[in-house]
Structure 1
């Protein structure tokens, strides 16, 4: 059993009996204080913001219940809704609809899963795809990375690590306590020996795909930024090769990188 002490921090083991005890305490608190807190929350929201406030309050509860269901029913959903190798249900920071959407993108839904997804689409078109949460807490099945997108003359700067075949968007993972800006600046300095200019940072988007060289169902999410830089681009550290690639070369890029290329193509930038 594990306990997450802080987002982005590694999981730490804890005694199973502590988990059982904490579950029982939380259940008792919910039964005793839950109804009182719910009623107070309704009236507080109503008096503060009217029906809009009530709607927002109930939506937050609905999302929390959905997240609880994702944990509570994870084993059953993994059995009935997705094929072997799919993105597993069970991340406590994620809703059922979000995990359903990820498996839809991967093409890993079973017949039953497709039926559920189709039913939700009748109520809310593209419900599961629109529900994918790109800010969900990283887990063993969701690798969280940062990427620096630099485009010149319709081509994207890409790098390839030693003993790897595919190129990827420069960047990497955060260290504990780092912001996106701090982590990406450090990674780019280590990989390409240049200094990103903080004042020019601009968020481009989040892109998610099956992680390369990982078991099926393990996803990688890249939060991409653009930025100007100081210095001369030179491969360093574990980087074997630096290359400018256009849309016609996207087959040389990682799966998540290909999504970045597709986005840039839609924007008529490559």
Structure 2
């Protein structure tokens, strides 16, 4: 059983003057204390873990610099590396490589962006795709959702809401500060009138794709769990239809659900 507690708080609105002062303070501290911290970190890592520790230390620094670059150069990268409908750089919790990987998956890199991606692949095969961080802070570009994967006889339980034409795997959005288990249990009870057994929840994976009915570049991140339930499956007032789908029904579901269908089909769990 795996629970990934994701408790995020939205950024506070900051007075521009305060933001500028904090920026100056951070620069001064970096200039004055950075060299000493770096030298001490080198020797500490070397003596604690040898060259392995040294490599880990350099990797952490590289990731931090990458995250800084994602904020510092966001407007330039959005102009040169991605198309207008691409996933935007600029999330302070994400590296440049992660954002590059998301655009790689979405085929929204410009020719220049593809060139940069190929160079990185030469250095480290599949670098951008392997660098995608699925656990960054939520942003306006990523819709954070959870899904319950319930399979029977090679079919997967899916629902269709009123006014919708596509089917969706049961689940929904988390409320602010909700961990995975609590959010998923609440959503499934609201949608299907059953109680998930918290002790049976098993993490399956995280999938991302273009969000339906949203402008290009807005992604939905689906964190999926298997799990048993108590009660009788009964759709609530918002759910118009509850069905069992096979892999052949893949065109009837959302883009992110298609990725989940592919994954389950490859594992032989969806027929």
* CA–CA distance in structure 2, aligned partners of residues 229 and 52 of structure 1: 45
Q: What is residue 260 of structure 1 aligned with on the other side?
A: 260
* CA–CA distance in structure 2, aligned partners of residues 61 and 211 of structure 1: 33
8 Å Cα contact 2:97-2:127 kept in structure 1: yes
Superposition pairs for residues 84-99 of structure 1, below 5 Å?
84-99=84-99
8 Å Cα contact 1:209-1:256 kept in structure 2: yes
Q: Once the two structures are superposed, what CA deviation does each residue of 1:67-97 show, in whole Å capped at 9, x if it has no partner?
A: 1001110000000000111000001111111
Distance 1:166 1:29, change over 3 A: same
Runs of 4 or more off by more than 4 Å in structure 1?
A: none
8 Å Cα contact 2:207-2:223 kept in structure 1: yes
If the length of structure 1 is used for normalisation, what is the TM-score? 0.95
* CA–CA distance in structure 2, aligned partners of residues 208 and 179 of structure 1: 19
8 Å Cα contact 1:190-1:237 kept in structure 2: no
8 Å Cα contact 2:7-2:179 kept in structure 1: no
1:237 Cα deviation (Å)?
4.4
Q: What is residue 184 of structure 1 aligned with on the other side?
A: 184
Superposition pairs for residues 124-135 of structure 1, below 5 Å?
124-135=124-135
Q: What is residue 198 of structure 2 aligned with on the other side?
A: 198
Superposition pairs for residues 94-243 of structure 1, below 5 Å?
94-243=94-243
Q: Once the two structures are superposed, what CA deviation does each residue of 1:194-243 show, in whole Å capped at 9, x if it has no partner?
A: 01111111100000000110010001100100001010011114222211
CA RMSD of aligned residues (A): 1.2
* CA–CA distance in structure 2, aligned partners of residues 22 and 166 of structure 1: 48
Q: What is residue 3 of structure 2 aligned with on the other side?
A: none
8 Å Cα contact 1:154-1:246 kept in structure 2: yes
* CA–CA distance in structure 2, aligned partners of residues 12 and 257 of structure 1: 34
* CA–CA distance in structure 2, aligned partners of residues 124 and 74 of structure 1: 23
* CA–CA distance in structure 1, aligned partners of residues 207 and 40 of structure 2: 40
Q: What is residue 60 of structure 1 aligned with on the other side?
A: 60
Q: Specify the SS of the correspondent of 1:233.
A: coil
Q: Once the two structures are superposed, what CA deviation does each residue of 1:70-125 show, in whole Å capped at 9, x if it has no partner?
A: 11100000000001110000011111111111111111111101111111111111
8 Å Cα contact 1:7-1:137 kept in structure 2: no
Q: Once the two structures are superposed, what CA deviation does each residue of 1:156-205 show, in whole Å capped at 9, x if it has no partner?
A: 11112221211111111222332111110111011111011111111000
1:12 Cα deviation (Å)?
3.1
Q: What is residue 250 of structure 1 aligned with on the other side?
A: 250
Higher relative contact order (CA 8 A, sep 6+): 2
* CA–CA distance in structure 1, aligned partners of residues 125 and 43 of structure 2: 32
Q: What is residue 76 of structure 2 aligned with on the other side?
A: 76
8 Å Cα contact 1:189-1:195 kept in structure 2: yes
8 Å Cα contact 1:166-1:253 kept in structure 2: yes
* CA–CA distance in structure 2, aligned partners of residues 150 and 265 of structure 1: 14
